[in-house]
Amino acid sequence: MTVGRIGLATALAWLSFRRLPDFRARAPKLAGWYDRFNQRPSMRATPYEGETQD
């Protein structure tokens, strides 16, 4: 596990949470990696939720 992987996973989680430009169609391998990483207990224990304002 590296800080880079954690940072990437949290950035992708934020994109998904905010429904920002979908990375999945453009990067299917990255999407697969993220889906697997997102099953980790640490990711499942800390989901983004609620309302946000920019």
Mean pLDDT by 10 residues, the chain (54 residues): 95 90 92 96 90 74
Q: Could you tell me if 2 and 10 are in contact, meaning their C-beta atoms sit under 8 angstroms apart? A: no
Integer angstrom CA distances of residue 41 from 30, 36, 44: 19, 11, 5
Is residue 54 in a domain?
Answer: no
Q: How far is CA 33 from CA 14, 16, 45, 53, in A?
A: 15, 14, 18, 29
pLDDT of residue 54: 64
- What's the confidence (pLDDT) of residue 52? 76
Q: What was the pLDDT predicted at 53?
A: 73
Question: Is there a domain that residue 21 lies in?
Answer: yes
Instruction: Give me the domain span that covers residue 31.
Output: 3-45
In a domain, 39, yes or no: yes
What pLDDT, on the 0 to 100 scale, is given for residue 42?
Answer: 92
The answer to the question of residue 23 being in a domain is yes
Q: How many domains does the chain have?
A: 1
pTM, two decimal places: 0.82
- Chain position carrying tokens 């940072």: 7
12 falls within a domain? yes
